[in-house]
Amino acid sequence: MRNTTDTLAWLKKQHTSGSSSWRALCLSLARQARGLPGVYPSALAAQHATPREHRVYDLDKVKRGMVAYFDDPSDGNPYGHITTVIGRNKAGELLHWTNDASGPGRVSVVRHSFFPNYWGDKFQFAATWLNGYELDLPDGKKKPEKKPEKRPNLDHAIEDIKKAIAAAKKDDSRRLVKALERDLRELQQTKKRFR
């Protein structure tokens, strides 16, 4: 896994290269920036699979290198959105590396207010975890590389999404249930194809 400095440098390289290959691939961008394997089929699925102890809801506690989730449950995008936090500008507003804001597939830096103002997506939470891995964040201490107890794989992802569906059904969130059921079907089809 890349540390935060290398992750942000990797994202900057995607920006300066002029690449436009990241259209609608926010989760892929965030995980590849960290050098992590693919697990979940959408940012929404990764968001709901994030353990509660790794979620940061207070904007004042969001730090450089964390990933951040945005979503509008009533819009036409059933996949959600994920970014990588760069830090803060002089006014104290969070800055994010993201895709599709400056053009389809382009990687750019935007202010935190971009998402609600231009896409209508509200901040859900930031996270210190992605795809089964605790992120290597700059907290002043060098952490030994910690491997997940259970390697993220299709079975793991399927179970996470089933739990998220059950929770969404309790909250009577039909849109979320529908989106997660779509992701679950995709994972089950992939598993069937390769086993």
**pLDDT of 150-163, one tens digit each?**
556 778 788 888 88
Decide if 4 contacts 38 (C-beta within 8 A).
Answer: no
Closest Cα to residue 94, out of 119, 74, 116?
116
At residue 140 the predicted structure's pLDDT band, cuts being 50, 70 and 90, is: very low
Per mean pLDDT, which range of 64-73, 97-106, 149-158, 183-192 is the poorest? Answer: 149-158
Residue 59, domain member (yes or no): yes
Domain CATH for 74: 3.90.1720.10
51 domain-assigned: yes
Task: Report if residue 153 sits inside a domain.
Answer: no
Task: Check pLDDT > 70 for residue 105.
Answer: yes
Domain count of the fold of the chain: 1
- In a domain, residue 20? The reply is yes
Contact call for residues 85 and 98 (beta carbons, < 8 A) = no
Where is average pLDDT lowest: 83-97, 140-154, 163-177?
A: 140-154
113 falls within a domain: yes
User: Do the Cβ atoms of 102 and 114 come closer than 8 Å?
Assistant: no
Range of the domain at 134: 4-148
